[in-house]
Structure 1
Amino acid sequence: MENTTLKRSLGLWAIVMLGLGYMTPTIVFDTFGIVSDETNGVVPLAYLAALVVMLFTAISYGKMVSVFPSAGSAYTYTRETMSPHLGFLVGWSALLDYILLPMVNALIIRIYMVSVFPTVPAWIWVVVYVAIVTALNAWSMGKTSSLNALLVIFEVVLIGAFIVLAFVQLSKGMGQGTILTAQPLFHSNVHLGAVLTGATVVCFSFIGFDAVTMYAEEAIDQRIMPKAIMLTVFIGGAIFFICSYFAQALFPDVSGFKVTDDTLPEIGLYVGGTIFKLIFLSGAFAATVASGLASHASVSRLLYVMGRNGVLPKKTFGYVHPKFRTPVFNVILVGVVSLLAIAPSLELISSFINFGALIAFTFVNLSVIAYFIFKQKRYKTVKDIFSYLIMPILGAGLTGILWYNLQADALIGGLVWVGVGIIYMLFQTKFFTIKIADLSLDEAERTSSL
């Protein structure tokens, strides 16, 4: 059983679909009111700024996944290029992002279902949803991927319907009254600080392109991983930009919304009427389930690699079921954590997610420099200096701008989580008197091959 490995069953588009499912394209409509108010009505500009930051980091992810085709993502890259201790802390920080997102999806499902069936106890919806998602992830990555792809296609079709209806409403004089307008991108009240703050908020929407690296050991051909990362970023970014452009053209400010914290239902109502509102809500439901499937799968893979490497108890976290070829114990653990969505608020959970993501983004960029410049000595040509030094420095620097604009409660909560990780690491290493368990990369690669 120790030699049982993850099953290589995912092609390029299956991985891209998992990334898009994780990103939840319809989230652009949920957060539109918040970001529009924050940016003074230039939501697409905030998405464009966030996309630029994400592209630099995506390129770094592509470089590192080619060198280290392991499911551990930022944890593995930092561990192999810098140190096992630092790698553990990066992995631990990323867990805050990865392990909370499945809970966020369960919580959103609870909110949706309670709004439709107010007399049914909220906890029932959480338990049923978590049980289904956990069972699918434990059973088969292939089945999880197939269902996720169907759900993503459904929500993309609905986004297409929104764009068509937006064309119609704009031509009738709604909002800006024209399809071609610069107002969603620039006007006299635009301030750089507000745009960057908005970009910090919407970078949450891009979380998912990095998560596709968790499927590196389940890709049919690991060489497709860099392409999968870039496709996920570009396609997701294009959807966010186009949708926010039309939404901003239709709604130049938030004065027309009754509820600005989640504007998706009202956008659907104003653009297509009551019937389209209900259909649009069904798309949001599908998007949330797709994100739940993908995020649940991703965090179980991170826990698996940390368990396989011995920094978490190997017998439990490093276990792969011999028949299902999935890290079944980790999948169940994530399901148990997701049940906590019965009680807390969405704001309480989601405020901490960006912290873990930004930690991962920062250290992936630094890992490129550590590996190619310091270990491989790739600094003798202009091309190498640009690719392995300047590009990741720009990626880390742009991520630093998002760090600067991170909400205080997210920073404080994230630092508390890191503190817990440091205490655990001190306990694990007996105050650094013994090494953190160290599985060589070569062995990891051998055990991942089929």
Structure 2
Amino acid sequence: MGTNTTLKRSLGLWAIVALGLGYMTPTVVFDTFGIVSKQTGGLVPLAYVVGLIVMLFTAISYGKMVKVFPSAGSAYTYTRETMGPRVGFLVGWASLLDYLLLPLVNAVIIRLYMEALLPDASPWIWVIAYVAFVTIVNAVSMRSTSGVNFILVAFTMVLMVVFMILGSIQLYKGMGTGTLFTIQPMFQANMEIAAVLTGATIVCFSFIGFDAITMYTEEAKDINLMPKAIALTVLIGGGIFFAGAYFAQTLFPDVSVFHVVDDTLPEIALYVGGVVFQLIFLSGAFAATVASGLASHASVSRLMYVMGRNGVLPKKLFGYVHPKFRTPLFNVIFVGLVSLLAMGPSLELVSALINFGALIAFSFVNLSVIGYFVFKKKQYQTPKQVFSYVIMPGIGALLTGVLWAHLHADAFIGGVIWVATGIVYMLVMSKIFKRDVTKLGMDAADDLTG
């Protein structure tokens, strides 16, 4: 069935970075702006700064681990190889929650855009059309996904610049704070740190692109490109998010002006540039969301491929690579089917659930650095080694843990149910195969480390 077919190495540095930026969806800062502004009391840019600091520590840890384990499994692989298959499975299962929901959240955003433009049309039409397009492109080849994604990301960047120019003009005319330079979006006398931290957890899912690009490790032209690609994705993406959030917050100090707080992008564009710009900006946001959908769809397909290749998920299905397309075809189709659930839930609910799995994955990637370099390789003899392999990942794990502790209650409930399901699945799998669960997937260990 083509299970010996390998993924094709076709991606250069900037193609990988573009996939990461596409995954992060630069315009999502405007989609979630109302939700985060309401939560933080008008401090969205500060929430992004907090998120960026946490992600930088975690990105450094990803850069270390991706060179040690050049496999497409990301946090699942790193934890499995450093802390054992049981912990690795649970981290992979938690990661699967946010990876499966990211393609779905893009479908939700597309649905909200189309509902804003054509409120009388049935929303299921847009969801089906969007999901079908993304699924077909991902099924054909990774190169086609990368090419389409690069064009869409470039178009989005141009429109972001245009938004900032128009926003500057509106500020000059007295809109919002009436000035481009103000500390109000970053500091307020009555600000609540806990509220800002909760806001940071909401925006964290926007940064998941740097984590997702590790899924393309086996398709990178050179493995040594990956640490640089991860760092560039975080820095460029974080800068874009901060700039967009800063302009939006200065233009809209509070959310009272918005009719729909769940997705404020259409109204932001309308108020800043009028009906024509709203249509143009929505097209750019549409392009950015499609780019994110392509990248997120591809990433979760590859996570399931590695878990299937290891026997953690049924190997004949999830570990299958199509001999002609060189893509994990069954996984691509499966993710498309899950994405069809976007016809119902709200953006706030889905994004909250995503963060549960994402922050668990980020925490364990940091801990994996300590587990591998300190406990396995005993590299803690010099101050440099202590700084690189203990202090830096330790801070990263602590910061992600703090954000995890401030997650929305709905995220905890949904996340705990998902993890409990994973534990039951793990127990059932070990019972069915009449072997210790720690041996699941060990037949593929050479593939993961080689």
TM-score by length of 2: 0.96
Q: What is the SS of the residue equivalent to 1:277?
A: helix
| Aligned-residue offset at 1:348 | 3.8
Matched with 1:160 is 161
> Shift in Å at residue 395 of structure 1?
0.3
Q: Deviations over 1:137-156 (max 9, x none)?
A: 01010001111111111111
Structure 1 range deviating more: 340-349 or 218-227: 340-349
Aligned to 1:54: 55
Q: Aligned in 2, Cα 1:106/1:70: closer, same or farther, shift over 3 Å?
A: same
* Distance apart, 1:40 and its partner CA: 1.9
Q: How far apart in 2 are the matches of 1:272 and 1:109?
A: 21
SS at match of 1:237: helix
Tell me which amino acid in the other structure corresponds to 1:270: Y
Aligned partner letter, 2:146: S
CA–CA distance in structure 2, aligned partners of residues 426 and 330 of structure 1: 23
Q: Is the 8 A contact 1:136 1:144 kept in 2?
A: yes
Q: Mean Cα displacement is larger for which, 167-176 or 75-84?
A: 167-176
Range moving further from structure 2, 342-351 or 278-287: 342-351
Q: Is the 8 A contact 1:268 1:280 kept in 2?
A: yes
Aligned to 2:237: 236
Match of 2:188, as an amino acid? H
Correspondence for 2:203: 202
> Aligned ranges for residues 183-202 of structure 1 at < 5 Å?
183-202=184-203
| 1:69 counterpart residue number | 70
Contact 1:40–1:189 (Cα < 8 Å) also in 2: no
The Cα of 1:349 is off from its aligned counterpart by: 2.8
- Given that 1:102 and 1:295 are in contact with CA atoms closer than 8 Å, whether structure 2 keeps it comes out as yes
Q: Is the 8 A contact 2:20 2:209 kept in 1?
A: yes
Aligned residues: 446
Contact 2:95–2:357, Cα closer than 8 Å, also in 1: yes
Greater shift in the superposed pair: 113-122 or 331-340: 113-122
CA deviation map 1:60-114 (0-9, x unaligned)? 0110001001000000000111101111111111000001111121222223223
* Match runs of 1:303-382 below 5 Å: 303-382=304-383
TM value normalised by structure 1 = 0.96
Q: Report % sequence identity.
A: 70
Cα-to-partner distance string for 1:293-322 (whole Å, 9 max, x where unaligned) = 011000000000001111111111111111
Map 1:15-414 to 2 at 5 A: 15-414=16-415
Q: 1:365 to 1:175 in 2, by over 3 A?
A: same
Alpha-carbon distance in structure 2 between the residues aligned to 1:111 and 1:176: 28
Question: d(CA) in 1 for partners of 2:150 and 2:45?
Answer: 26
- Conserved in 2, the CA contact under 8 Å of 1:22 and 1:290? yes
AA of the residue aligned to 2:427: L
The alpha carbon displacement at 1:53 in A equals 0.6
Tell me, yes or no, if the aligned pair for 2:127 and 2:343 is still in contact at 8 Å: yes
- Distance in 2 (alpha carbons) for counterparts of 1:101 and 1:258: 25
Deviates more, 1:128-137 or 1:253-262: 253-262
CA deviations on 1:110-143 (whole Å, 9 max, x unpaired) are 2322333344432222222111111110101000
The CA deviation at 1:445 is 5.2
| Gap change, CA 1:445 and 1:374, over 3 Å in 2 | closer
* Paired residue type of 1:339: L
1:439 pairs with one of 430, 433, 443: 443
Alpha carbons of structure 1 residues 220 and 124: separation in structure 2 relative to 1, 3 Å: same
Name the CA shift for 1:117/1:367 in 2 (closer, same or farther; >3 Å): same
Please tell me whether the aligned partners of residues 36 and 199 of structure 2 are also in contact (alpha carbons under 8 angstroms).
yes
Per mean C-alpha deviation after superposition, the further-off stretch among 83-92 and 429-438 is: 429-438
- The whole-number CA distance in structure 1 between the counterparts of 2:116 and 2:39 is 27
What is the distance in 1 between the residues matched to 2:266 and 2:99?
27
Q: What is the DSSP-based 3-state SS (H/G/I as helix, E as strand, rest coil) of the residue aligned with 1:429?
A: helix
Runs of 5+ unmatched residues, structure 1? none
The alpha-carbon deviation at position 335 of structure 1 amounts to 0.9
Code of the aligned partner of 1:407:
H
Question: How many angstroms does 1:191 deviate by?
Answer: 2.5
Looking at structure 2, the residues matched to 385 and 363 of structure 1 have their Cα atoms a distance apart, in angstroms, of 18
Task: Note the C-alpha offset of 1:433.
Answer: 3.8
Q: Distance in 2 between matches of 1:56 and 1:407?
A: 23
Alpha-carbon separation, structure 1, partners of 2:224 and 2:422:
33
